[in-house]
């Protein structure tokens, strides 16, 4: 009983750490910067979103921890200086993107661009309208080489503007502060461009640059304010007295939107899970090396009595089956972390994908595509089985089958990382490279090419060999210090917060929020009819 209590305490400690991080992030550039925005008569980005969205409907934030611990020399960039997520306006689900002017005047850092592109990707995949609340000083010039010229850099958002327009995805932009240089194209490539009088401005070059470039003396309001663009240039559609008036206009636009086709994923009345989050914290080990039964974890996530397991006696290191989450039908592929015994009496290691497991998963993915059931991958994986026996049994071929089926799946995929996510196991279980509609992790997650212990020992061997080759003597004390330094660095990179900062995952979440996130994700995906036919291409059998 003492161990159970200790495990529960560890989970609660991890959750508290997460909550503290989120609380700090939501302050943006800090209380002084928030006060300055209020003094200008402006709402902050988060206040704008709160006013815009329908009351009582959860806003699913994407990338809240983006840029966490990054850009420290520049003073940090909380949430990458932009708030993004899925919400509801006038009864219509949509994506919202709001520049946070309290963070470096809303300037674009490299992670800002990556986060903006992620929001547009979510809108495109799910055919959701998107709202841009623009308030940005433009590209953060000291980092321009990391944001300007490449395929997934700043310019990609304008390409996406054009693509979304051709796809019939509604884009509404509200210019609520500065909108400078290349960033000026984003609102004007949207379907409708609104602007707030006196605080909103849009121009390719501000007054200082105009003076330097062509010698003209002009103030910013005359150059690109609301009156200029609504009455002279015609660049913007309408101007509004303040933030709330502008946001009310967006609500009015959304009331007139026509309905769209649906994917028609199945949903029935929701049921609570058979086990509670408190029970989850008792049975799910906070220690990543301890075994547990994945069925018990799933009982805390799926609607009570809904799980129907597929091939329960075969390929047991992967648990596959259909279930319901908040009433939505979903196909689940989850790593089994306990040791399992095969029909032949052989023991298989938990968290490892064997040939029979991979084959089972590939067939199950095909079935879900045939039945139009969204897929949820629950990751706690060490990788594929290695060794001569596995190689002779064709582990590479069977692993390729699973990856092929997963990659070519046409039903929406969602990924939840609750524990380990190592090497090719990350790929096969629908890591970020395989286009999950949403990918979130719990505070217990770890993501890397291999475990910390294995990586540290490997890196130590390489480092010691290199030093000895250079003629340096290595004592046991030196070796111990090297191991500690390597282990500390690698463990930092294993952290779910390291992954969230770089948008390898969409966020780190409290386990109790998992059901609502998956439900919101499927609801969003339901706006995009499946038009492709599932085809796995060439697979060796």
What pTM did the predictor assign? 0.93
Mean pLDDT of the chain: 92
Query: For position 327, what pLDDT does the model report?
Result: 98
Q: pLDDT value at position 451? A: 67
Share of the chain above pLDDT 70, in %: 97
* pLDDT for the residue numbered 1: 44
Mapped onto helix, strand or coil, the DSSP state of residue 307 is coil
Reported as a single tens digit per residue, the pLDDT across 85-140 is 999 999 999 999 999 999 999 999 999 999 999 999 999 999 999 999 999 988 88
pLDDT at 478 (0 to 100):
74
pLDDT 10s digits, 499-531:
999 999 999 999 999 999 999 999 999 999 999
Angle at 316 between CA 310 and CA 319, to 5 degrees: 50
pLDDT (mean) for 373-394: 92
C-alpha count within 13 angstroms, C-beta hemisphere, residue 419:
26
List Cβ neighbours of 445 (8 Å cut-off, separation of 6 or more).
Answer: 379, 417, 418, 419, 420, 421, 496, 499, 505, 508
The whole-number average pLDDT for the span 173-195 is 91
CA 263 to chain centre: 22
pLDDT at 540 over 70: no
Q: Let me know how many helices (H) and strands (E) the chain has, helices first.
A: 20, 20
pLDDT in tens, 14-44: 999 999 999 999 999 999 999 999 999 999 9
Strand pairing partners for 310?
320
pLDDT tens-digit profile of 340-355? 888 788 888 889 999 9
Average pLDDT of the residues in 451-468: 74
Supply the pLDDT for residue 479.
Answer: 75
57 against 466, higher pLDDT: 57
78: CB partners within 8 A, 6+ apart? 24, 25, 27, 28, 29, 67, 68, 100, 103
Residue whose pair of structure tokens reads 């294995």 in the numeric block? 454
Per-residue confidence band for 206, with pLDDT thresholds at 50, 70 and 90: confident
pLDDT the model gives residue 138: 87
| Residue 473 to residues 165, 463, 466, 484, Cα–Cα distance (Å) | 65, 12, 11, 18
Rounded Cα–Cα distance for residues 391 and 75 (Å):
50
> Is the pLDDT score of 2 beyond 60?
no
Count Cβ atoms below 10 Å from residue 234 Cβ, excluding itself: 8
Predicted confidence at residue 37, as pLDDT, reads 97
Q: Is the pLDDT of residue 197 over 90?
A: yes
Q: pLDDT for 438-455, tens place per residue?
A: 999 999 999 987 666 666
- For residue 195, the number of C-alpha atoms closer than 13 Å in the C-beta half-sphere is 28
CA dist 114 and 63 (Å) reads 10
How many whole angstroms from its chain centre is CA 117? Answer: 11
Which residues are registered as beta bridge partners of 93? 88
Report DSSP state, residue 529: -
Q: What are phi and psi of 237, to 5 degrees?
A: -90, -50
CA distance 170 to 190: 8
Which whole-number Å values give the CA distances from 384 to 353, 358, 394, 421, in the listed order? 5, 9, 11, 11
Is the model's pLDDT at 243 over the cut of 50?
Answer: yes
In this prediction, residue 69 has a pLDDT band, given cuts at 50, 70 and 90, of: very high
Mean pLDDT of 76-93: 98
Nearest to 495 by CA among 17, 10, 8, 5: 17
Region 471-493 average pLDDT: 79
Q: Residue 389 CA to chain centroid, in angstroms?
A: 37
Environment class of residue 27 by beta-carbon count within 10 Å: exposed (0-12), middle (13-18) or buried (19+)? Answer: middle
**Cα separation, 86 vs 519, whole angstroms:** 12
CA distances from 24 to 77, 96, 507 (A): 12, 21, 15
For the CA atoms of 485, 488, 489, 492, the dihedral, rounded to the nearest 10 degrees, stands at: -170
């Amino acid at each position: 009983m003492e161990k159970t209590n200790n495990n529960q305490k560890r989970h609660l400690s991890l959750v508290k750490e997460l909550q503290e991080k989120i609380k700090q992030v939501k302050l943006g550039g800090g209380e002084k910067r928030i006060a300055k925005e209020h003094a200008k008569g402006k709402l902050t980005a988060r206040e704008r979103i709160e006013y815009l969205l329908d009351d009582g409907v959860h806003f699913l934030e994407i990338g809240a921890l983006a840029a966490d611990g990054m850009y420290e020399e520049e003073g940090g960039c909380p949430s990458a200086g932009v708030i993004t997520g899925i919400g509801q306006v006038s009864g219509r689900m949509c994506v919202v993107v709001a520049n946070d002017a309290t963070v470096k005047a809303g300037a674009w850092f490299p992670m800002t661009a990556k986060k903006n592109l992620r929001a547009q990707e979510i809108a495109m995949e799910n055919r959701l309208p998107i709202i841009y609340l623009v308030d940005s000083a433009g590209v953060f010039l000291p980092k321009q080489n990391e944001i300007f010229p490449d395929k997934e850099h700043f310019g990609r958002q304008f390409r996406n503007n054009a693509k979304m327009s051709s796809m019939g995805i509604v884009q509404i932009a509200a210019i609520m502060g500065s909108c400078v240089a290349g960033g000026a194209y984003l609102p004007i490539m949207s379907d409708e461009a609104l602007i707030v009088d006196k605080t909103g401005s849009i121009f390719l070059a501000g007054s200082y640059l105009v003076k330097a470039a062509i010698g003209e003396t002009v103030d910013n309001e005359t150059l690109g304010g609301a009156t200029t663009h609504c009455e002279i240039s015609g660049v913007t559609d309408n101007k509004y007295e303040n933030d709330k008036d502008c946001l009310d206009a967006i609500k009015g636009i959304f009331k007139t939107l026509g309905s769209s086709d649906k994917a028609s994923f199945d949903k029935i009345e929701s049921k609570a899970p058979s086990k509670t989050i408190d029970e989850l914290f008792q049975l799910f080990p906070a220690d990543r090396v301890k075994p547990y039964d994945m069925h018990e974890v799933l009982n805390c996530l799926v609607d009570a009595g809904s799980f129907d397991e597929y091939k329960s006696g075969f390929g047991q290191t992967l648990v596959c089956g259909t279930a319901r989450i908040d009433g939505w039908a979903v196909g689940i592929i989850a790593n089994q972390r306990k040791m399992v015994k095969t029909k032949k009496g052989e023991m298989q290691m938990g968290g490892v994908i064997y040939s029979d497991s991979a084959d089972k998963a590939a067939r199950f993915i095909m079935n879900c595509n045939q039945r139009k059931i969204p897929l949820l991958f629950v990751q706690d994986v060490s990788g594929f089985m290695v060794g001569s026996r596995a190689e002779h049994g064709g582990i590479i071929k069977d692993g390729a089958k699973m990856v092929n089926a997963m990659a070519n799946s046409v039903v929406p995929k969602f990924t939840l990382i609750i524990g380990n996510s190592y090497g090719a196991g990350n790929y096969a279980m629908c890591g970020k490279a395989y286009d999950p509609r949403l990918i979130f992790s719990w505070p217990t997650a770890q993501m890397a090419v291999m475990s910390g212990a294995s990586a540290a020992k490997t890196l130590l061997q390489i480092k010691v060999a290199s030093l000895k080759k250079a003629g340096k003597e290595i004592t046991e004390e030196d070796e111990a210090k090297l191991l500690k330094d390597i282990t500390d660095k690698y463990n930092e990179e294993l952290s779910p917060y390291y992954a969230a900062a770089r948008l390898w995952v969409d966020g780190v979440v409290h386990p109790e929020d998992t059901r609502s996130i998956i439900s919101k994700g499927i609801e969003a995906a339901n706006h995009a009819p499946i038009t492709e036919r599932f085809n796995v291409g060439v697979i060796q059998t």
